[in-house]
Amino acid sequence: METSPLALPFPACPPIAGVELRVARARYKAWDRCDLTFAALAEGTTVAGVTTKSKCPSPEVEWCRAALTLGRARALVVNAGNSNAFTGHRGRAAVEAIAARVAGAIGCQPSDVFVASTGVIGVPLPIDKAEAGIDAALAAAPASWEEAAATIMTTDTFPKAATATAVVDGRTVTLVGIVKGSGMIAPDMATMLGFVFTDAAIEAPLLQAMLSSANEASFSCITVDGDTSTSDTVLAFATGAAGNAPLTSMDDAGADALAAALQQVCTELAQAVVRDGEGASKFVTVEVEGAESDASARRIALSIANSPLVKTAIAGEDANWGRVVMAVGKAGEPAERDRLAIRFGATQVARDGLAVEGYDEAPVAAHLKGREVEIGVDLGLGEGRATVWTCDLTHGYISINADYRS
């Protein structure tokens, strides 16, 4: 598969004290690559997470939800090529077997082991392959961040990561995140697997609050195709190895800096997913302002970003702003036709409910020929605003998904 034209180079990611990565071949599919990622986490690691809102979640999602209530973690296992979703009691048995295998090997409780899987729905995860993969990972040499990021991929065309630092209690703490996602991407939490690691010391409830907030402005603001996965999971692990006084409240010194760094990492990861949207050729930013509320602005922005007509027009580099009007109108949110304004890039194309008189389409056409496209909408009703990121819809998306199980 060709690398996305929107791909970003893999960043230089430093090691995180208290995190050791390994990868192995469980051979969940007939491919010649690693497909199981294992992360060993230091004792005392705290954890937070957000998961899919799908009513058909995978057993892995249900396992993580239960484990998150305890707030601690010692290991993470990620399987690629098989989502283990919609597999009944056999799927649950596979997750339990994975957690038990790891717990027995490293000396922890099964509830300290987090499990995530991604890939084809409806095929039970083979326990024998999972256990053999875990054994191989435990015996393997430590892996790099790039190897770990590549191992969790499915239809992705490039590995994705982000890193940041913050000063907490006079100490520099580091964050590194990896993510996979390319198709079945819609912001109902997120539609992907994402994992953020930090050496900061922070109690689980505060980490959860920070991650939930970061998610709302990052993973929950991306869409490729409007479809929400059964397996969405974003987890944040904090090993405490940096030695700062454990953060318990946003009033603690450095808490705001850590929250900002986490937001930065999550936003960069979310945007990287969109840049690898299946068949994507353009990265699209949709900015909505002047709505009655931020929530209303977000729903309108998503209506635009999820519209096949808008997305195919962008793919064809067609300045068809009428499709944006359509998407605003169908969103079900407060809007007044004669106050609506629309722009492509820096060029205003419509204002006060009609086309800008004598507007020159040439700069808009030039803007749409680029890899980065921006659509702006002003409803003229209030102070609500939102930004959503998406990509265009091309023949490549159809080709990838028509043959997905092959």
- Which residues belong to the active site? 191
- Are 86 and 60 within 8 A, CB to CB? no
How far is Cα of residue 287 from the mean position of the Cα atoms in its chain? Answer: 19
399 labelled ligand-binding = no
Pairwise CA distance, residues 402 & 238, whole Å: 40
191 labelled ligand-binding = yes
Long-range contacts of 322-328 (CB under 8 A, 24+ apart): 324/375, 324/377, 325/350, 327/300, 327/303, 328/300, 328/303, 328/304, 328/377, 328/379
What are the residues facing 342 on neighbouring strands? 350, 377
Nearest to 162 by CA among 209, 214, 225: 214
Pairwise CA distance, residues 49 & 375, whole Å: 32
Q: Which residues contact 362 (CB under 8 A, 6 or more apart)?
A: none
What is the sign, positive or negative, of the torsion defined by CA atoms of 188, 191, 193, 195? negative
- Are 230 and 58 within 8 A, CB to CB? yes
How far is Cα of residue 19 from the mean position of the Cα atoms in its chain? Answer: 21
- Beta sheet of 341-344, edge-to-edge order: 354-355, 347-351, 341-344, 372-378, 283-291, 384-391
Pairwise CA distance, residues 264 & 190, whole Å: 16
Pairwise CA distance, residues 275 & 159, whole Å: 11
Pairwise CA distance, residues 162 & 11, whole Å: 7
229 labelled ligand-binding = no
406 labelled ligand-binding = yes
278 labelled ligand-binding = yes
- Are 378 and 290 within 8 A, CB to CB? yes
Q: Which two tokens stand for residue 157?
A: 């065309």
174 labelled ligand-binding = no
Cα→Cα distances 242→238, 263, 295, Å: 10, 19, 37
Residue ranges of the binding site:
154, 180, 191, 278, 401, 406
Known binding-site residue numbers for substrate: 154, 180, 191, 278, 401, 406
